[in-house]
Amino acid sequence: MDIKVIAFDADDTLFINEPYFEETQEAFCVLMEDYLSHSRLEQELFTNQIANLPLYGYGIKAYILSMIETSIKVSEGTVSMKHITKILDLGKELLQKPIELIEGVEETLAALHGKYKLVVATKGDLKDQQRKLHDSGLGHYFHHIEVMADKEAINYQKLLQRLDIQPQELMMIGNSLKSDVLPVLEVGGYACHVPFHTTWAHERIDHEVSHPNFKALTDIRQVLDLF
Amino acid sequence: MDIKVIAFDADDTLFINEPYFEETQEAFCVLMEDYLSHSRLEQELFTNQIANLPLYGYGIKAYILSMIETSIKVSEGTVSMKHITKILDLGKELLQKPIELIEGVEETLAALHGKYKLVVATKGDLKDQQRKLHDSGLGHYFHHIEVMADKEAINYQKLLQRLDIQPQELMMIGNSLKSDVLPVLEVGGYACHVPFHTTWAHERIDHEVSHPNFKALTDIRQVLDLF
């Protein structure tokens, strides 16, 4: 391996994220439970989010807009303005959640810092991701943050171009096989998977990954054994 | 001058943008005119946008959320769900506006391409800015796009770090003295101002700029005279 840049996913790799979305989704379902069951609401919201992805992209603002749209749709326009206000509030709360580091992250970064160029490679709201990295106190370990519109092979191609490196000089570490591993292997890079206990439905894949450039880990600290 | 990277603002520098926001704002004012005069509505929306900036940042999704919040506020919660749906639609329309290049942009980029590293440096929604650059057909002139959370001196410092260049190796070209010129001069770079016929209130400054690293232009093609 001739790795120059190690890229870390942020949400649920460096700090917890999905549990906060799940909390917000639960609050949304409680708010709207007069109209539909929780499971149907979750399904409607998910369908709406995916339909809006091409226009809105990822991140909390897109999520807020999809919650508002879903609330109007499932209530057939009869939801009250108090509900809309509450959804806006839920979104603002989600944008201000505390940062909780995942175990082992800081010692892993401290050990790699200075030996490799470390970057954050994440999708979502630019503003929100920068806020979270800042609040995490991890900012000084990283050369910079790359906020990506999506994490498909084409986006990693662009990342390699921006970083001016060859594919085999990149290692990506993250909790999503779909976003952090498969497209990186596709463009010729190295990838490590560190699973988190919960994964958004959109990020799940249903097959095993086996590839010479791939390593499945159970703890982020195991990255250090590779170098 | 020892310029290595020429960075171009996107909105109202490469292609028109502010007129689309103004159209949307006008439609919002018509929608809400039963509640408040157009000028008061504009003021309320602007105040709300600025108040939301620290949490939402720039871009269309932030703008949609601020329109929804303003409509609830000025109607004291009595606005109808049809209004909210209409605002969501206005937002989606704004996210799909056609791209209209500003005169002289393409020949300027064509002349500089291959001689300097050209990048786009813009704020706003990541997803939306990438869509616009793609649709503009200008993408191949640029090494990459930098979507910035804000355009203050600190953000340009980070840009220099990401680009791995010295301040005096950067020239920034844009239509906003506040965002594209002053902070770049502050960090030691070069900047050119190419005014657009309309500027968002938040981007206006009320003094003249005079600095050895600064050039006021009237047409983007005049950039070529500097090299």
Quick one: what percent of chain A has pLDDT higher than 70? Answer: 100
State whether residue B187 is helix, strand or coil: helix
**Cβ separation of B147 and A143 shorter than 8 Å?**
no
| pLDDT score for A3 | 97
Nearest by Cα to B102 from B11, B225, B223, B7: B11
**Cβ separation of B126 and A147 shorter than 8 Å?**
yes
Both tokens of residue A40? 């149907």
Domains, in order of start, for chain B: 5-15+100-226 (3.40.50.1000), 18-94 (1.10.150.240)
Both tokens of residue B145? 């796009």
Could you identify the residue written with the tokens 């969501």?
B88
**Cβ separation of A162 and B144 shorter than 8 Å?**
yes
pLDDT beyond 90 at A122: yes
Separation in Å, CA A31 to CA A39, A95, A117, A196: 13, 19, 45, 28
| pLDDT score for B197 | 85
Instruction: For B62-101, write each residue's pLDDT tens digit.
Output: 999 999 999 999 999 999 999 999 999 999 999 999 999 9
pLDDT range class, residue B205, cuts 50, 70, 90: confident
Q: Which helix (H) or strand (E) holds A72?
A: helix A60-74
| pLDDT score for B201 | 74
Both tokens of residue B48? 């709300």
Local structure of residue A138 (DSSP, 8 states): -
Radius of gyration for the alpha carbons in chain B, expressed in angstroms and rounded: 19
Separation in Å, CA B7 to CA A62, A99, B141, B143, B159: 28, 33, 12, 10, 10
Residue A96, min C-alpha distance to chain B (Å): 8
Separation in Å, CA A69 to CA A41, A85, B112, B127, B148: 12, 13, 45, 20, 28
**Cβ separation of B85 and A62 shorter than 8 Å?**
no
Q: Which helix (H) or strand (E) holds B130?
A: helix B126-136
**Cβ separation of B85 and A77 shorter than 8 Å?**
yes
* CA A42 to chain centroid: 19
> How many Cβ pairs within 8 Å bridge chains A and B?
87
Q: Are B10 and B1 in contact (CB under 8 A)?
A: no
Q: Which helix (H) or strand (E) holds B189?
A: none
The residues on A that touch B, with CB distances below 8 Å, are 55-58, 61-62, 64-65, 68-69, 72, 77-79, 81-82, 84-85, 88, 91-92, 95-96, 125-128, 130, 143-144, 147-149, 158, 161-162
Other C-beta atoms lying within 10 Å of the C-beta of residue B224 = 12
For residue A161, list chain B residues with Cβ-Cβ distance below 8 A: 143-144
Across the interface, of A72, A88, A92, the residue whose CB is closest to B81 is: A72
The Cα A71–Cα A208 span in angstroms is: 37
The Cα A125–Cα A145 span in angstroms is: 12
**Cβ separation of B149 and A162 shorter than 8 Å?**
no
Cα B149–Cα B155–Cα B156 angle in degrees, nearest 5? 135
Q: Are A208 and A193 in contact (CB under 8 A)?
A: no
Instruction: For B116-173, write each residue's pLDDT tens digit.
Output: 999 999 998 888 999 999 999 999 999 999 999 899 999 999 999 889 999 999 999 9
| pLDDT score for B125 | 84
The Cα B157–Cα B77 span in angstroms is: 43
Q: B144-148 and B117-123: which strand pairing?
A: parallel
Instruction: For A62-116, write each residue's pLDDT tens digit.
Output: 999 999 999 999 999 999 999 999 999 999 999 999 999 999 999 999 999 999 9
The residues that bridge with A120 in the sheet, in sequence order, are A8, A145
Separation in Å, CA A119 to CA A36, A140, A219, B129: 43, 10, 19, 22
Quick one: what percent of chain B has pLDDT higher than 90? Answer: 87
Q: Are B193 and B217 in contact (CB under 8 A)?
A: yes
